[in-house]
C-alpha cells in the first residue's frame, strides 16, 4: 500500500508539472469536453425547446463523471450562456427569472425537413389565396344580372266611350291572349299590347330566375368541391402516430441505431416519440426530425399520417417510384373503400 501511494503521489506530481508547463492546453481540453457534453444533454433532453439554463446545468452536474466548470474557460454559468449565444450555438435571452437557452439544430437532415415544411406551408397559403379568388369571382358572377327588368306600364285608353273593356280572371294568360285576339274589336290596341307585354315579361323573368338559380347552384357546388379538396389536402407540421413503424435516420446515436427500424410506442407533445428498436428491443426518445416513415410492400397495411385522411388505416395498392408517391385503399372509418392516389411517401407509414 505504501508503494502504491508513493507511485500515485509521483504520478499526481507529474500531472501537476505538466499542467503548470502548459495550463492553457488542459483548460481548452476541459472546456471543449464541458461544452460538448452540455450541448449533447441539451439537444437530447430538451431538443429545440426554450429552457432555463439552470435546469440544464443541474441535470448535467448530477452525473458523477461530469467536468466541473472551474476547470473551463468560463467562470460562471452566465458567462457560458452568453458565449453560446455569441457563437450561434443556441438562442439565448435574459428575463427577470434568469437566462433561457434554446438549442439550434444544424443537422443537415433537420434543415432539409424544415425547408420542406416551409415549402408545404407556402403551397398551402397559395392554395388558400386561389380559393379566395375563385370564391370572389363566383360571387361577382352571381351578382351579374341580379337587377331584373322593371315592368313598363302603359295607360289603358278607349277610342270611344261606348267600348267595353272586359277581363277574364279565371283563365290562364294564354287563354286571355287567345280571347283578346278574337275580340280585338272590343279591346283597344293599347290594352292588347299591354297584356301581351306583361305575359312576355313574366315568362322572361321566370326563365331568367331559373337560369340564375342553376348558376348559383353550380357555383355553390364548385365551392363545396374546393372546400372538400382543401380539407383533403390540409396538412400539419407533425405526423407521429402510435403503432407505426419508422426508421431512425440520425447518426448522433451511433451506428448501432442508424437506419434501424422501430415501433412508435408513445407520442409526446406531438413532435417527440418513444420508440422501441425492433432488433434490440431498446427504447429511445427521439424527435420526429430524427425519424422517417417506412413504406411496406403492396398489400400491407399502412396509416395515413397527414392530410385530410390523417388517422385512417389503409391497404397499400401500388407505388409510383418516379413521383415518390403511392395509391392506397382506405380501410377504416366512414371513408372505407375510397381509393386515394398520389399520396406522398412521408404521409403514410407501415403499421406494426
Mean pLDDT for 318-330 is 90
Query: Using 50, 70 and 90 to split pLDDT, how confident is the model at 51?
Result: very high
User: What is the structure's pLDDT at 112?
Assistant: 76
Mean pLDDT of the residues in the chain: 77
Using DSSP bridges, classify how beta strands 98-103 and 50-52 pair: parallel, antiparallel or unpaired: antiparallel
User: What is the structure's pLDDT at 175?
Assistant: 47
Query: Using 50, 70 and 90 to split pLDDT, how confident is the model at 20?
Result: low
Residue 128 above 70 pLDDT? Answer: yes
Number of neighbouring beta carbons within 10 Å of residue 150? 7
Query: Using 50, 70 and 90 to split pLDDT, how confident is the model at 186?
Result: very low
Alpha helix segments (H runs only) across the chain: 2-21, 23-46, 53-61, 77-86, 108-143, 173-182, 189-232
Owner of C-alpha cell 353550380: 218
Query: Using 50, 70 and 90 to split pLDDT, how confident is the model at 292?
Result: very high
Q: What percent of the chain has pLDDT over 90?
A: 30
User: Is residue 156 within 8 Å of residue 188, measured between CB atoms?
Assistant: yes
User: Is residue 79 within 8 Å of residue 86, measured between CB atoms?
Assistant: no
Mean pLDDT for 178-207 is 52
Q: What percent of the chain has pLDDT over 70?
A: 67
pLDDT tens per residue across span 83-123: 999 988 899 999 999 999 999 887 777 777 777 877 787 77
Query: Using 50, 70 and 90 to split pLDDT, how confident is the model at 181?
Result: very low
User: What is the structure's pLDDT at 182?
Assistant: 45
Residue 260 above 80 pLDDT? Answer: yes
Closest CA to 58 of 73, 44, 71, 69: 69
The residue ranking higher by pLDDT, 49 or 186, is 49
Mean pLDDT for 127-156 is 72
Mean pLDDT for 262-288 is 92
Please enumerate in sequence order all residues whose Cβ is within 8 A of that of 189, keeping only pairs 6 or more positions apart, or say none: none
Mean pLDDT for 158-187 is 54
Q: What is the largest distance, in Å, between two alpha-carbon atoms of the chain?
A: 153
The residue ranking higher by pLDDT, 248 or 146, is 248
Q: Is the dihedral of CA 153, 158, 159, 163 positive or negative?
A: positive
Three-state DSSP state, 77: helix
Residue 245 above 90 pLDDT? Answer: yes
User: What is the structure's pLDDT at 208?
Assistant: 55
User: What is the structure's pLDDT at 315?
Assistant: 94
User: Is residue 23 within 8 Å of residue 71, measured between CB atoms?
Assistant: no
Mean pLDDT for 238-265 is 91
| Total-model pTM | 0.39
User: What is the structure's pLDDT at 243?
Assistant: 94
User: What is the structure's pLDDT at 54?
Assistant: 92
Here the cell at position 305 is 399520417
The torsion angle over the Cα atoms of residues 168, 174, 179 and 182, rounded to 10 degrees, is 160
Name the helix (H) or strand (E) containing 264.
strand 261-268
The residue ranking higher by pLDDT, 214 or 352, is 352
Closest CA to 143 of 200, 204, 219: 219
41-45, 142-146, 192-196: least confident range: 192-196
Greatest mean pLDDT among 39-43, 123-127, 190-194 = 39-43
Radius of gyration of the chain measured on its C-alpha atoms: 40
User: Is residue 258 within 8 Å of residue 286, measured between CB atoms?
Assistant: no
Query: Using 50, 70 and 90 to split pLDDT, how confident is the model at 29?
Result: confident
Amino acid at each position: 500500500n505504501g508503494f502504491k501511494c508513493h507511485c500515485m503521489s509521483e504520478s499526481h506530481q507529474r500531472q501537476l508539472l505538466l499542467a503548470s508547463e502548459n495550463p492553457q492546453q488542459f483548460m481548452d481540453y476541459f472546456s471543449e469536453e464541458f461544452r460538448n457534453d452540455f450541448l449533447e444533454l441539451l439537444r437530447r433532453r430538451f431538443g429545440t425547446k426554450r429552457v432555463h439554463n439552470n435546469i440544464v446545468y443541474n441535470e448535467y452536474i448530477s452525473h458523477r463523471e461530469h467536468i466541473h466548470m472551474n476547470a473551463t474557460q468560463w467562470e460562471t454559468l452566465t458567462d457560458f450562456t452568453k458565449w453560446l449565444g455569441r457563437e450561434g450555438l443556441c438562442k439565448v435571452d435574459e428575463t427577470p427569472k434568469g437566462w433561457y437557452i434554446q438549442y439550434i439544430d444544424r443537422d443537415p437532415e433537420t434543415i432539409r425537413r424544415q425547408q420542406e415544411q416551409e415549402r408545404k406551408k407556402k403551397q398551402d397559403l397559395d392554395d388558400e389565396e386561389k380559393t379566395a379568388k375563385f370564391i370572389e369571382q363566383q360571387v361577382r358572377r352571381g351578382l351579374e344580372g341580379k337587377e331584373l327588368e322593371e315592368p313598363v306600364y302603359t295607360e289603358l285608353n278607349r277610342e270611344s266611350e261606348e267600348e267595353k273593356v272586359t277581363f277574364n280572371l279565371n283563365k290562364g294568360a294564354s287563354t286571355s291572349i287567345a280571347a283578346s285576339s278574337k275580340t280585338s274589336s272590343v279591346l283597344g290596341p293599347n290594352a292588347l299590347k299591354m297584356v301581351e307585354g306583361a305575359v312576355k315579361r313574366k315568362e322572361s323573368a321566370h326563365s331568367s330566375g331559373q337560369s340564375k338559380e342553376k348558376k348559383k347552384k353550380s357555383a355553390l357546388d364548385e365551392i363545396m368541391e374546393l372546400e372538400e379538396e382543401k380539407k383533403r389536402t390540409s396538412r400539419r407540421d407533425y405526423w407521429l402516430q402510435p403503432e407505426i413503424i419508422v426508421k431512425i435516420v440520425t447518426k448522433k446515436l451511433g451506428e448501432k441505431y442508424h437506419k434501424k427500424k422501430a415501433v412508435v410506442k408513445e407520442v409526446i407533445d406531438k413532435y417527440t416519440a418513444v420508440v422501441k428498436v425492433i432488433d434490440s428491443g431498446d427504447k429511445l426518445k427521439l424527435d420526429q426530425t430524427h425519424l422517417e416513415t417506412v413504406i411496406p410492400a403492396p398489400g400491407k397495411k399502412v396509416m395515413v399520417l397527414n392530410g385530410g385522411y390523417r388517422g385512417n388505416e389503409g391497404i397499400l395498392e401500388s407505388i409510383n417510384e418516379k413521383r415518390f408517391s403511392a395509391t392506397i385503399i382506405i380501410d377504416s372509418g366512414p371513408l372505407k373503400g375510397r381509393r386515394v392516389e398520389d399520396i406522398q411517401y412521408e404521409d403514410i407509414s407501415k403499421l406494426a
